[in-house]
């Protein structure tokens, strides 16, 4: 045992329906910085470019090209 005493989870004090209602509550949107926002935009563009390339390569391989 530690000097501060046993640590317990505060959620252990809740009843099961209270716990499920807490878990179902949506979290607020996170405020992202400019760098992270641009990183996510770049990732989205990368995916939009990569999907047609992968589809083309797959169809090209199926046709025996």
In this structure, is residue 8 part of a structural domain?
A: no
Structural domain includes residue 16: no
pLDDT of 4 above 60: no
In 3-state terms the chain splits into helix, strand, coil percentages (rounded to 5) of 65, 0, 35
Tally the C-alpha atoms within 13 A of residue 40's C-alpha that lie toward its C-beta. 6
Per-residue tokens: 21: 């209602």
Is 65 within the bounds of a domain?
Answer: yes
User: pTM of this prediction?
Assistant: 0.54
Number of independent structural domains in the chain: 1
40 within 8 A of 30, measured Cβ to Cβ = no
The three-state secondary structure class of 31 is coil
Note the pLDDT tens digit of each residue in 11-65: 777 777 777 777 778 889 999 999 999 999 999 999 999 999 999 999 999 998 6
Better-scored residue on pLDDT, 5 or 17: 17
* Domain enclosing residue 60, as ranges: 30-65
Q: Decide if 9 is inside a domain.
A: no
Q: Is residue 40 part of a domain?
A: yes
For residues 31, 37, 39 and 44, what is the CA-based torsion angle, rounded to 10 degrees?
Answer: 110
């Amino acid at each position: 045992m530690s000097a501060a005493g046993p640590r317990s989870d505060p959620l252990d004090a809740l009843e099961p329906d209270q716990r499920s209602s807490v878990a179902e509550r949506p979290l607020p949107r996170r405020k992202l910085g400019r760098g992270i926002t641009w990183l996510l935009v770049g990732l989205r563009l990368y995916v939009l470019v990569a999907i047609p390339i992968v589809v083309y390569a797959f169809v090209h391989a199926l046709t025996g090209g």
